Structure 1
Amino acid sequence: MAMAGKFICSITGIDWMGGFHPSLTAIVEGLGYAAPPIMALLFILDDEVVKYSPHARAIRDVEDEELRSFFYGMSPWQFVLIITASSIGEELFYRAAVQGSLADMFLRSAELVKDAHGIASLSGVLPFFVPFAQAFAAVITAALTGSLYYVATAPKDPTYVVTAVSSHSRSSRNDLKKLFAAWYERRQMKKIYSPLLEGLLALYLGFEWIQTDNILSPMITHGIYSAVVLGHGLWKIHDHRRRLRNRIQQLRAEARN
């Protein structure tokens, strides 16, 4: 992604490093900006919140599915390497290349009406995009990020579902319909919340880059956010499996006695 971002920046003529400058201020800002999204998501993923909120449950399912399908079983060094590479690559692509190119395009649009005359010159007094060029670029980049994530990860709905149904019991068929409806609702919510979380995170990081003007800060925020949230999720999965194994061993011991 970093190479793709560099290619885009070479075409648009902007800095592909996104104002990268190692400094203590950028590190502190990155750490500070990482706290709000981490606290918000950890609160949503808490067991007590998940019990009472189907939306929190859908977000929890999204995170758990991603962890089980990709991160579970990695060594600590592999986990750190993947998080670091994804944070650097995504920020250079989405923030420096895509958002930077969009902002540059909006700012250059002011030059198109600089020499306008007559009524056309009135519209050039305050070009539409110029005062909010950076904000527009951040919003569009976030929407693009969520859309790409939806296209890449959204599961396809099954054509049909095969299951055993008792032909002599109407209540069992009704119960099965309710279970299927609940399953389908959770599936649709997962399809919505998965790209929504990515889009909101991209929007947050985009505005952080605007405020700090140093791509190092969003990189640090992105890396810490991913490490804490994914690490917490992996620990929860490991803890649940450990308790399940202990419970199975306890039941086996009770059965022997």
Structure 2
Amino acid sequence: MTVFNHFGRYLLMIKGMFTKPENWRMYWKELMKQCSDIGIGSLGIVVVVALFIGAVSTLQTAYQLVSNLIPKSTIAQIVRDTVILEFAPTITCIVLAGVVGSKIASELGNMRVSEQIDALEIMGINTKAYLIMPKILASFLMIPILVIIAGVLGIWGGRMAGILSGILSPEEFEEGLLSGFQPFNVTFALAKAYTFAFIISSIPAYFGYFVQGGALEIGKASTTAVVTSCIMILFADYILAALLL
């Protein structure tokens, strides 16, 4: 299939989700399940990645700023802005594209291959709305929260790395942390988080929902979904930076 065929089917899938739910309680239960899987299930890897990214940012920034003319508080300022603008939203969402995206694609692919989706459609359930919409809504709810957690922990990890390695004191780090802060950076990071959340949930859902074949095809669909999601995240990252900055 060509790129245009995939894009057309993708848009039709998104359009097919917007129908009135057959059973609100059933949809709510599925939404809460997806929130638990996406949010709590991904929290561990997000915490680890954020802490080490913040720590490495401090060490590498200190390594590059070797001049005595530059105050050490500048290290904290650079780490803060780097974590908020790029590392927390982009790196976290690329990791989530692998964790969450592969799970969504394989889950829907397994349901398609085992004919569970066909059985739901025979019962009169709109499978696009029931299976895909809760995943996208859960991503909108949980991924920005994970990005906020990653930003806080990234800055804290940078602070601890700076203090433990003797690069700068707590007072110097806090001085740089508060110096020249622009609240718009947080707004920009959240805009990226919501955009990436839609990519992470909808693209793997498309590849999993329309998979054909057996277990081998499910694996290929999961891999394609993750690769495509990562590429689209980087592309969207550039577009948002060009438009908003």
Q: What's the TM-score, normalizing by structure 1?
A: 0.34
Structure index of larger Rg: 1
